[in-house]
């Protein structure tokens, strides 16, 4: 049975769409963009209790996968941009030079807008030639949050963890008080079972020594 705390949602476009990444229009064919969203779950150890408690503390950054089919772009009978040139444009989005540091890019599409994703980093670019006259490429993106948002999220997660630990300790303390009020019910149960066994063996009601008090031993 899946963990009820784990929530994962995948959104997929069902028709051809336009997607702008860093101001570049990507040729996205049907059903080829997927946005994956999931909860962030932390396992928290509670003092005095075995195992760990699972606590939802926030959301993971959305992951986006885009499949591209790069062919020559034509206007009339003339080729204005070859598949290779289009690939080079995308390559520059991923890595403009050997010295360049990765930069967050704006992404605009109906699917990412619906999921609230507006800035991303390109994690991977996978390219391979196709037997036909075009190039296949896969872009894997991750949602980008500003430093300010990251700090806010970290503070929220820390507060959620602290609350979970406090509630766990309150539960343990409550269990201890309940057991004390009931007079250790587990031991009472064992005594009742022992007395019942004696009564069955003697053929009458028994209310004598407790386990370990039998004079024959």
Q: What is the pLDDT of residue 118?
A: 93
Distance from the Cα of residue 131 to its chain's centroid? 37
Task: State yes or no: pLDDT of 211 exceeds 80.
Answer: no
Which residues does residue 78 pair with via DSSP β-bridges, in sequence order?
75
Q: What is the pLDDT of residue 1?
A: 46
List CB contacts of 1: < 8 A, sequence separation 6 or more: none
Q: Do the bridges between strand 17-21 and strand 24-28 make them parallel or antiparallel, or are there none, so unpaired?
A: antiparallel
Q: What is the pLDDT of residue 35?
A: 94
CATH classification code of 8-144: 2.40.30.200
Task: State yes or no: pLDDT of 12 exceeds 70.
Answer: yes
Tell me the pLDDT band of 3, cut-offs 50, 70 and 90: very low
Q: What is the mean pLDDT of the chain?
A: 75
pLDDT for 150-191, tens place per residue?
Answer: 455 555 666 656 666 666 656 655 555 555 555 555 555 556
What's the rounded Cα separation, in Å, for the pair 163 and 157?
10
Please give the share of the chain, as a percent, with pLDDT higher than 90.
27
Q: Which span out of 12-26, 100-114, 155-169 was modeled with the highest average pLDDT?
A: 100-114
Structural domain boundaries in the chain: 8-144
Please give the share of the chain, as a percent, with pLDDT higher than 70.
57
Task: State yes or no: pLDDT of 139 exceeds 80.
Answer: yes
C-alpha torsion 111→105→98→83, nearest 10:
50
Tell me the pLDDT band of 27, cut-offs 50, 70 and 90: confident
List CB contacts of 65: < 8 A, sequence separation 6 or more: 33, 34, 36, 138, 139, 140, 141
Phi, psi of 150 (to 5 degrees): -65, -45
Q: Which helix (H) or strand (E) holds 169?
A: helix 147-182
């Amino acid at each position: 049975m899946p963990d009820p705390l784990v929530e994962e949602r995948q959104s997929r476009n069902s028709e051809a769409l336009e997607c702008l990444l860093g101001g570049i229009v990507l040729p996205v064919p049907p059903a080829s963009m997927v946005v994956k969203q999931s909860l962030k779950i932390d396992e928290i150890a509670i003092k005095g209790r075995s195992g760990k408690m699972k606590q939802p503390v926030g959301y993971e950054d959305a992951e986006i996968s885009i499949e591209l089919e790069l062919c020559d772009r034509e206007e009339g009978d003339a080729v204005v941009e070859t598949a290779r040139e289009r690939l080079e444009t995308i390559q520059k989005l991923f890595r403009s030079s050997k010295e360049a540091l990765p930069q967050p890019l704006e992404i605009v599409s109906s699917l990412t807008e619906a999921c609230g994703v507006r800035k991303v980093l390109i994690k991977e670019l996978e390219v391979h030639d196709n037997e036909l006259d075009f190039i296949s490429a896969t872009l894997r993106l991750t949602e980008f949050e500003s430093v300010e948002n990251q700090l806010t999220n970290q503070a929220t997660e820390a507060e959620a963890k602290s609350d979970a630990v406090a509630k766990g300790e309150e539960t343990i303390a409550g269990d201890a008080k309940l057991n004390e009020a009931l007079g250790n019910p587990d031991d009472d149960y064992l005594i009742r079972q022992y007395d019942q066994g004696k009564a069955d063996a003697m053929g009458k009601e028994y209310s004598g020594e407790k386990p370990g008090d039998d004079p024959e031993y």
